[in-house]
Each structure stands twice: as C-alpha cells, then as structure tokens.
Structure 1
C-alpha cells in the first residue's frame, strides 16, 4: 500500500522503515529536514509540508500520525481535515488520550474522513521484532488497512487486532501502559529488597538471569531488567527520578470514573511522583508531628 507517515522520530522512522522493508510505499513528513533525508536514504519519499504530503498521495489517501499526544496531534488533525477529501483515512498511532480520540473521530466523521486510533507498543525494538497494535475504528475501514497492520505486527495474525470502535484502541493502550507501570514497579521493588539483604551478597544480574527461564515471573520486562543489571549492577549515574508520560494517570482516572479498584497501578504512579521529591515537605511535617505528640526525635539536616 501507499501511505504518508507524519512524524519521523524514533517510532515513526522505524515504523516507516519496517513498512518499506515490507514492500509498501511510504512518503514521510517531519519538520526536521534531516529526518526526511534519512527516510529518503532508506528508500522512502518525503514532503516538506503537510500540504505537499497530501498532494503526493493517491486518493483515497492513508496518513499515519506518529506525533506527540495533545496539542500537536490536535493541530495536525485540524490541518489535515482542511486538506483531505471524503474517503481518506487518518490513523493516529501515537499515545493520544482516548477521549481526545473520540473527539477526533467525530470531527473526521463530519468531513467524511475515516479515523482509526491505533495504540502502538514496541518501542525501539519494534523495527526488528514488530509492533503490538490495538486498533479502534470502523470494521470495514480497518479491514482495508490490514496489509499495513500485518506488516508492522510481529506476525500477520499476531500482536494486532481491531478491539472495537473509534477510541477503543487508545483506551486499550492506555490500560496496557497502566499495567506496565505496575509490573515495572514490582520488579524494581523486588530487586531493591534483594539488594538490601547485603549479608547474602546476591548478584542481582545472576538472579534476573535465573528467573528468565522457567520462572512464573519471566517476561520481556524481566529480560530488560537482566540486561540493565548486567550492564550497570549498582545503577551508577542513574538518578532516582522517574518520569511518566501520562497514560498511567489516565488509567487511574478511568479506574475512578468506572469505580474499579486499581491499587497496584495507582500506587506505582504515586511512587513515580514520590521519586521526584528530593526534599519532601510531607516527610518533614510527618517527623514534626511525631515530635509534637510523642516527643520523638527529629533527624536534623
């Protein structure tokens, strides 16, 4: 198939390359001229503007968005709707909030443009291993895009699927990332407990390697933990500061809206907030309260 790729960062560029490797024709747009040049070097085409990209594609057009969620995605959808014709298709493969995706779908429907939201997982490994894709949108529209998803996925019928109507793809990916928060937090806490049992002198990289085979906690995340511990056993030079990209917050919000208990995901998000507070006012006040009611000692700075 022939399609346009909007956003040629780490994810977009790798996805474009995997599509090219699979025999598709890809024309890309990115504000960064060097990113466009690199795509050309891999056999793809490029356009210097959204207008030029739309003009370069045959109707009905297919455009895949791989840009940051929020305003940039909103602005890109708005710009495209002024350029596209009835029957064209926008695929948002980024990490948009599913509520934003519902709004984008409604706006596209008003213009007769198809909208598909595709929650995409795979990161920097996706080029070689394939991407996991949770697709939301009209069933007939998604079926016409099957060759694209089959090429990007780990296998033609593996690692991807239409999960429901527009919005459902990004909702499913949101929860996927919430689960990821909980899994990573559990691994981090477990290895920290092992590290603090100093009298045993445990080799954490060795333990991780043992767990990778036959253990009920084996997973790709554990594989990555084993690799990280092998390369840097003491985590030297790594600040104890953990960022979040938003999906964990949205998952917790959804859990509250649906009255679903989700303590593990919620606490894993709270722990990320905690990691960023290197001068905790809450802990200082807590220590002061213990001193006030019980005369307990305060450790001075």
Structure 2
C-alpha cells in the first residue's frame, strides 16, 4: 500500500521506517529538509496513486489545522486523511466535517509507543467510519505490535483520540503512584537500596509494568535521580481528561491529583517529579530539566528529534 506521512519527528520518522519494513511505500514530508523525502506537501500528493491516504503526525492545534486545510485543497474525493497526533476529539469532528464536504474521508488515530515504537510496535486507537478505517488496515497492521492486541477501532470519529486521551490520563496517575512510592522509600533510613527494591518488583508482583521497567532504567542511569530537577510538564491530555470527567460527571480523583502534582512541580523542586520527569524521558524521549541548571533542560536521551506535543507525550 502507498501512504503519505506528514511530520517526521521522533515518532513520525520511526513510523515511516516501520511501515516501510512491512513492505509498504511511504512518501514522507517534513519542514526539515534533512528528514523529508520531498520538497513540498503537494509533492506527497503528486507521488501517490489514487485513492490516496495521508497520515498527519504534527503537533495538535493550529499546526494540525493548517496541514489539514492544505490537504483539503490538494486531495480529491475518495482520498483519506489520518490524524495521528494528539488532537482534541472535538477537533476531529470538525476536521471530518470539513473534509467530508469535499468528499475526503477522515480517521483519527491515537498512537502510543513513544521512542520504542519502531522496535515494539505502536498501540493504535482508531475512530472513523468503517469504510475509511478498513482502507487503512494494512498500515495499522504494519504499525501495531505483533500478536492479537494493540489495535482497536474504538468507534466513530473522535473515539480514537478520546481513548488515547484517557490512556494518557491513566498514565499520569500510574507515573504519580510510582513516583510517590519512590520518594517514600528514599525518605526512610531503613531502606538503603531503593533501586533494587524497584527492580525486585519487576517479576511476580501485581504492580509490574512497562512503566516500572522504565523506572528501573532511569534509576540505573542515576540511582537517586540527583541529575534531574523535580519539574514535569503536562502535555494537555491530562487536562482534557479531567475536563471530560467534569463534563460527564465521572469522578477521577487519582488522575486529577496526578495532574495537580505536575502543577506543584513548577513551584518547587519536587522529589516525586524527579521520577515522573525521568519516566517521561525513558518512554518518550522528552527533555528533562537539569538539576544543576534549573533554568535549562537537558537533551532527551533516547533520541530527541521532533516537535512538542508528540502523540505519546504525557
């Protein structure tokens, strides 16, 4: 299958490589000419046979809207646009209406996998009409992890990004729990090897998880997280999750508290936020603030090319 891919940052670039490895043709475009296969967005459309499919992997909001507006004028009826960024699900409904008026299909895809997706595959939560989703199934199969799980057609347009939003809200709460436990273990005199305590939980315990594995990775790099400032950004998805909970009268105390903890990290050097910042760096390659230079952020450590607001950012 042929597909265009717009946005070749830390996730988009790896996705291009994974799709190609599955035998499909990818025409990639990025504003960075060193990453791009073509010189202009219009070249992507020109290089694809109809009916075309173009996957957008750029920051949510104005940038996504700009790209979709351009594609709306370049594509033809019967073509399909996939938004794989972290767009708000209400924006998906707007984009589907705008493109649908031109006869162009629209699919929203929540994508999780971060900098590890090339190797492990990407979990995909997809929203859209059945005919548009089924057309893209070979690409979804190429991107998803091996095995029966990691892909779902979650529902109509907006469902994919709504599901990914809730996923990221849960991620906030899980990271916060690991961070709080780490701080308490570090605080008491009786425990003198916190890193190995965390390592001992990786097998046979009910709280084992990939996030726990990444916490151990971070502690292997810096046993007491002394190099990391206790500051953690929020990508916006946690806020959207809490807003949706309010709109639907659903209590989310753990997720809400974890979001507010991010805010508290901006007021002081929070020990818990050292772990949250380290975890964000481990799974998504997000930059961390250096402990010795609180005003500056250290480069992200497994590779850091790409733009803010990447789909796996939490």
TM-score (norm 1): 0.88
Distance 2:202 2:238 in 1: 26
Q: SS where residue 215 of structure 1 aligns?
A: coil
Q: SS where residue 223 of structure 2 aligns?
A: coil
The one-character-per-residue Cα deviations of 1:116-153 (angstroms, maximum 9, x if unpaired) are 00000000000000000000001122112111001100
Query: Which ranges in structure 1 are unaligned for 5 or more consecutive residues?
Result: 37-45, 280-301
Partner of 1:88: 79
Which of 104, 109, 114 does residue 123 from structure 1 map onto?
114
Which of 197, 210, 226 does residue 236 from structure 1 map onto?
226
Q: SS where residue 34 of structure 2 aligns?
A: helix
Which of 135, 144, 150 does residue 141 from structure 2 map onto?
150
Greater relative contact order, per chain length (Cα 8 Å cut-off, separation 6+): 2
Q: SS where residue 8 of structure 1 aligns?
A: coil
Residues 103-118 of structure 1 correspond to what in structure 2 (within 5 A)? 103-118=94-109
| Paired residues of 2:185 and 2:191 also in contact (CA < 8 A) | no
| Paired residues of 1:150 and 1:157 also in contact (CA < 8 A) | no
Distance 1:20 1:4 in 2: 12
In structure 2, the CA distance between the partners of 1:184 and 1:159, relative to structure 1 (3 Å rule), is: same
1:203 and 2:193 aligned: yes
1:168 and 2:122 aligned: no
Q: SS where residue 35 of structure 2 aligns?
A: helix
Distance 2:224 2:124 in 1: 35
| Paired residues of 1:121 and 1:132 also in contact (CA < 8 A) | yes
> How much has 1:156 moved relative to structure 2?
5.8
Distance 2:98 2:148 in 1: 31
Distance 1:122 1:264 in 2: 23
Partner of 1:30: 30
Distance 1:243 1:217 in 2: 25
Q: Detail structure 1 runs of 4+ shifted over 4 Å in the superposition.
A: none
Q: SS where residue 214 of structure 1 aligns?
A: coil
Distance 2:98 2:228 in 1: 44
Partner of 1:60: 51
| Paired residues of 2:52 and 2:79 also in contact (CA < 8 A) | yes
Partner of 2:69: 78
| Paired residues of 1:94 and 1:118 also in contact (CA < 8 A) | yes
Greater fraction helix: 1
Query: Which ranges in structure 2 are unaligned for 5 or more consecutive residues?
Result: 270-314
| Paired residues of 1:205 and 1:229 also in contact (CA < 8 A) | yes
Q: Which has the larger radius of gyration?
A: 1
> How much has 1:3 moved relative to structure 2?
0.6
Q: SS where residue 10 of structure 1 aligns?
A: coil
TM-score (norm 2): 0.84
| Paired residues of 1:174 and 1:248 also in contact (CA < 8 A) | yes
Which of 153, 174, 178 does residue 187 from structure 1 map onto?
178
In structure 2, the CA distance between the partners of 1:138 and 1:159, relative to structure 1 (3 Å rule), is: same
Corresponding pairs, count: 269
Distance 1:202 1:20 in 2: 48
| Paired residues of 2:86 and 2:110 also in contact (CA < 8 A) | yes
The one-character-per-residue Cα deviations of 1:235-278 (angstroms, maximum 9, x if unpaired) are 12211111011000000000000000001000100000010013
Residues 132-151 of structure 1 correspond to what in structure 2 (within 5 A)? 132-151=123-142
Which of 246, 249, 252 does residue 242 from structure 2 map onto?
252
| Paired residues of 1:150 and 1:156 also in contact (CA < 8 A) | no
The one-character-per-residue Cα deviations of 1:96-122 (angstroms, maximum 9, x if unpaired) are 111111111111111110000000000
The one-character-per-residue Cα deviations of 1:203-244 (angstroms, maximum 9, x if unpaired) are 121111110001000000000001111211111221111101
> How much has 1:80 moved relative to structure 2?
0.6
Partner of 2:93: 102
What's the RMSD between the two structures over aligned residues?
Answer: 1.1
